[in-house]
Amino acid sequence: MKRRHFLTKSLAASSLAGGLNASASPLPAGSDATGQAAVKEGYARFEELNGALDRAAMQRGWLTQVDPSYHHAPQAAIEAFKDRKFGIRIHWGLYCLIGSDASWALAGANRQFWDAYNVFYQFFNPTSFDADAWMELFEQAGARYFTFTTKHHDGFSMWPTRVLQDSIKLTPKGFGYGGVEHTEKVIQSYSIQDGPYKKDIVRSMVEAGRRKGMGIGLYYSHVDWHDPAYAWDPFNQHYDPHFTRESDPERWKTFIAHEREQLRELMANYGRVDYLDFDIGWPQAAADDLAEITMMVRKMQPDVIIRGRGIGAYGDYYTPERKIPGGPSEGVWKVIYPCGEAFSYLPNDSYKPAEWIVESLIGIVAKGGNFEVGVGPMPSGEWPTETVERLKYTGDWLRVNGEAIYNTRPRKVFREGNNIWFTSSKDGRYVYAIHIGWPGENFTTRSVRAVKGSQISMLGVDQPLEWEQDNATLRVSIPPAIADHKPCQQAYAFKIVAEPQ
């Protein structure tokens, strides 16, 4: 795709004061008497740049109504999503080489860091990547779908996009004494095809996932901090605080065209896509353009479920991130939460225990949501041992108790005390009471009444259990033989034929 060169037109990244206000002074408030900007570093610089845009509003999306011709994801797709319950969220890109939480290390980075990061694609060569082995691991974990980062905010594409942009590459001199970097300007896709690996990672993931019957989710960021056409973003390396639709109409059209074409590639070239997770958003002046692109996506993938970030009323579901709602929430939703401190790979990361995944999954499903645990592979394409151990633990639990999770729906009374969660079969006939920790000789609840003469069982145990209903209290007896040979660890699910609530 042909494009203009914008590098020479971008202002210095230290020109922060104006945001998107074309009438603002280019001199930051912290300038010294000579008029030179007092450039901030680290988190202070991040905060200053981050304040130049209303990112929260951008992420919510500006549009409160949809075009009359637009339709949301069909109910059948929504129900299939709700059935799957547990997914894997994979952040993988150049950032795994440096221990950054995805590409956030670039938000407010100095020029030297940017110049180094911009050539990391020449070193990214995940020769141990095996998409089929990944899907085998996900299947062992009990996951029914995944979402993969096709392009994070750094702008590096994990598929061979045909969209071109200004970039750099190291010359044969490489890095010299004192960290001097020898580079030359190039026009390229800034994607996996420009480095040594060459293979289409998105295609490998999608095709391997389909072979395992996985739901296919693709993540795509609305922002791009590498591409000069996105210079309205203060985190873009070519940030121009005066750049607007009016100041440079051609460049404005270019960033819109770049996203349109990349999404056209992703929606056209990989078969059915079940989930499309947008991230961040655009300035309000481009809201209608983003709506037009979303309508294009919907026409190409009629059943795709689209995350609402950046597109407002056009979205189908929302995703609480690093937090779990306190109770049932309206709409369609999934929790996204990293298993470590970061969504992507960090050397020496601090991982949450395996039990955290299981307990989080139970609570989220009881409230009516799905759970996507965030994990990141190493630069080689292999998984950290800590990730493998935790995913396999989760799968071991789900193999026993999956009936209480998959294909269930929430009930009005979803929790009792601190240790009991409830789910329900879709027809409402069965209630699953999941007790965190071993309940002892008896399991008791005041939130469910069993149908007279029915059987109650513990998942993973063949024999039915004796029970009695004493007014409001249901008491289930657990024989010592079961206590001596527990069907699983951590949490135990009781299947009850229940009276209507």
What percentage of the chain reaches a pLDDT higher than 90?
90
Question: Which DSSP letter does residue 464 get?
Answer: -
Integer-rounded Cα radius of gyration of the chain: 26
pLDDT of residue 21: 33
Q: What are the helix and strand counts (H, E) for the chain? A: 11, 18
pLDDT of residue 22: 31
pLDDT of residue 38: 58
Nearest Cα residue to 223 out of 155, 121, 307, 149:
155
Q: What phi and psi, each to the nearest 5 degrees, are found at residue 256?
A: -65, -45
pLDDT of residue 247: 98
Give 443's strand partners.
476
User: Rounded distance, CA 232 to CA 282, Å?
Assistant: 9
Averaged over 171-178, what is the pLDDT? 93
Per residue in 311-345, pLDDT tens? 999 999 999 999 999 999 889 999 999 999 999 99
pLDDT of residue 32: 44
Whether 441 shows a pLDDT value over 80: the answer reads yes
Q: Which helix (H) or strand (E) holds 61?
A: none
Three-state secondary-structure class, residue 98 = coil
User: Angle 201-211/131-140 helices, nearest 10 degrees?
Assistant: 40
Q: What phi and psi, each to the nearest 5 degrees, are found at residue 55?
A: -65, -30
Per residue in 14-35, pLDDT tens? 333 333 333 333 333 344 444 4
User: Rounded distance, CA 171 to CA 185, Å?
Assistant: 10
CB 400 within 8 A of CB 460: yes
Report helix, strand and coil shares of the chain as percent, to nearest 5: 30, 20, 50
Nearest Cα residue to 282 out of 290, 271, 294, 274:
290
Nearest Cα residue to 449 out of 394, 396, 499, 398:
499
Reported confidence tier of residue 181, pLDDT bands at 50, 70, 90: very high
Neighbouring residues of 488: CB distance < 8 A, sequence distance ≥ 6: 396, 397, 400, 401, 460
Neighbouring residues of 158: CB distance < 8 A, sequence distance ≥ 6: 92, 93, 148, 149, 150, 151, 191, 192, 201, 202
Beta strands in 83-153 (DSSP E): 86-90, 145-151
User: Rounded distance, CA 77 to CA 415, Å?
Assistant: 28
Q: What is the mean pLDDT of the chain?
A: 92
Reported confidence tier of residue 39, pLDDT bands at 50, 70, 90: low
User: Angle 385-401/354-366 helices, nearest 10 degrees?
Assistant: 40
